[in-house]
Amino acid sequence: MPEGFTLPRGMHDIYPEEMAERLWLYERILNVMRRYAFQLVEPTPIEALETLEAKSGPAIRDEIYHFKDKAGRNLGLRFDLTVGMTRMVASRSDLPEPFKICSISGMWRYDEPQFARYRYFHQWDAEIYGSEHPSADAEIIALSIDILDEVGLGNHEILISSRPLVEGYLESLGIDNKNTREEILRVIDKIRKAPRPELVERLRPLTSSQENLESITEFVMLKGNPDKILDELSSLKCRSESYIRGLETLSSLVEYLGWYGKLDRCILDMSIVRGIDYYDGIVFEAYDRGGEEVGAILGGGRYDCLGRIYGNRDLPATGVAGGIERMLISLRREKLIPEGVSQSPKVFVASVNDGVRGEVVALASKIREEIPCEIDLKNRSLRRQLEYAESIGVLYTVIVGPKELGEGRVKIRDMERRMEEEVPVSSMVDYLKGKIYI
């Protein structure tokens, strides 16, 4: 095969078996999002490059696909769904608020491909626009937990923090330079991937004193039951305005999470700060309780400033996203996708000879009104038809022969038990419906 005709590096085709798993998963995620009254949308995959750069600056170009169109416009492929959804909402002032939307779709990043990490991958994403109230963050976290439960990944816990609170704490230590604070947040964000001594070494040049260094490392170790951590955060008596507001918001969030009945699924963890630039409020990530170290299965938070960039008006926003491929890995590993998940038809209609091909088509059309079914499309002998039916894994084969047909009957073969029964044509569909769970 000429090299040019292969799949480009890092790209991904979805074949029927994998699509069956995805359809199973998408349906479950969409179900929960629907119950929470999120409405499905799809932003354009191609954005103006300026839109993609709006928050991160031109540095993002290294990580994305971008190009000029024939009119010289700078365009790029979306790297997440949040940016496009925010631009969609920010560009319209006629939408009700809050406006709750969701999406499941593909995106592209120019990463080095790794095991199950493609340059083309999919996320599910849910966002609430137009509410600055922590009840919206609680709604997002409750949704996230219900999605995990619905797909069978209830063994994950939600680790929650607040960017303004952590930043306020750093401020109160006298770290006045915003860039230094952001640098520190970036180091903290790596805490799950690097050993602690290494982090201390990386924090040292960013802090002015050993005391500060110890305060920070101690602070980001705060992790536990929400009420307990809220008490500890209060007892720090930190006077930074940002800290005080952050703590109030976090308390209100915890109150709401209690009302949602989700508090036992949530942990406050001051080391959660999220890497992505646009977050500026409550942030959270979900990890396997068993400590499986494959990264967060979902994450999100509040990003009140992004909407203002795109829409030139206040548009508070909070949301969550999760990787579909990442979720599929966990689901497969824990064997949580039901075995029967498949797109293969369960019924084949075979012709004993060429004289009954017309009847086979007519009978298959009748079955197809109720049950997916397959027929021979290669003009094969009965033996070859049965081999094919076996190879695609059908459960029942209707065998149409001239003799039985003359008596108004067909044979139906149970492919697994290798048993046949004669059934009147008039009750064929009901017989199959009784045997097959569609």
- The interface with a second copy within residues 360-399 (CB under 8 A) comprises 361-362, 365, 368-369, 371-379, 388, 391-392
Candidates 3-11, 224-232, 240-248, 292-300: pick the segment binding a second copy (CB under 8 A). Answer: 3-11
Residue 408 is classified by DSSP as: T
Residues β-bridged to residue 77 = 46
Which 248-267 residues touch a second copy, going by CB under 8 A? 255-256, 258-261
The least CB distance from residue 80 to a second copy, in Å, is 15
Which 277-316 residues touch a second copy, going by CB under 8 A? 309-312
CA distance 107 to 63: 12
Q: Which helix (H) or strand (E) holds 300?
A: strand 298-302
Q: Six-digit token pair at 188?
A: 């903290």
Which 133-192 residues touch a second copy, going by CB under 8 A? 133, 135-136, 138-139, 142
ω before 98 within 30° of 0 (cis)? yes
The least CB distance from residue 111 to a second copy, in Å, is 11
Residue selected from 28, 56, 116, 130 as contacting a second copy according to rule CB under 8 A: 130
Which of these, 276, 273, 266, lies nearest to 148 by C-alpha position? Answer: 266
Residue selected from 21, 25, 60, 65 as contacting a second copy according to rule CB under 8 A: 65
Residue selected from 27, 67, 204, 294 as contacting a second copy according to rule CB under 8 A: 67
- For residues 260 and 142, is the Cβ–Cβ distance under 8 A? yes
Residue selected from 75, 200, 222, 331 as contacting a second copy according to rule CB under 8 A: 75
**CB nearer to a second copy: pick between 184 and 319:** 319
The least CB distance from residue 38 to a second copy, in Å, is 8
ω before 197 within 30° of 0 (cis)? no
CA distance 393 to 391: 5
Query: Does residue 2 belong to the site contacting a second copy (CB under 8 A)?
Result: yes
CA distance 287 to 298: 8
CA distance 81 to 108: 11
Q: Which 3 state secondary structure label does DSSP give 255? A: helix
Q: Which helix (H) or strand (E) holds 252?
A: helix 241-259
Sign of the CA dihedral with 225 first, then 230, 232, and 233 last: positive
**CB nearer to a second copy: pick between 128 and 185:** 128
Which 342-361 residues touch a second copy, going by CB under 8 A? 343-345, 357-358, 361
Which 89-128 residues touch a second copy, going by CB under 8 A? 90-91, 96-98, 100-101, 106, 108, 110, 120, 128
**CB nearer to a second copy: pick between 198 and 390:** 390
The least CB distance from residue 16 to a second copy, in Å, is 4
Which 217-246 residues touch a second copy, going by CB under 8 A? none
* Number of residues binding to a second copy, judged by CB under 8 A: 99
Which 9-28 residues touch a second copy, going by CB under 8 A? 9, 11-16, 19-20, 23
Residues 6 or more apart from 352 whose CB is under 8 A from it? Answer: 382, 399, 400, 401, 402
Residue selected from 29, 43, 296, 321 as contacting a second copy according to rule CB under 8 A: 43
Residue with tokens 């024939």: 70
Residue selected from 37, 194, 294, 341 as contacting a second copy according to rule CB under 8 A: 37
CA distance 362 to 381: 19
Residue selected from 28, 45, 117, 382 as contacting a second copy according to rule CB under 8 A: 45
Q: What are phi and psi of 416, to 5 degrees?
A: -80, -50
The least CB distance from residue 82 to a second copy, in Å, is 14
CA distance 209 to 205: 9
**CB nearer to a second copy: pick between 194 and 392:** 392
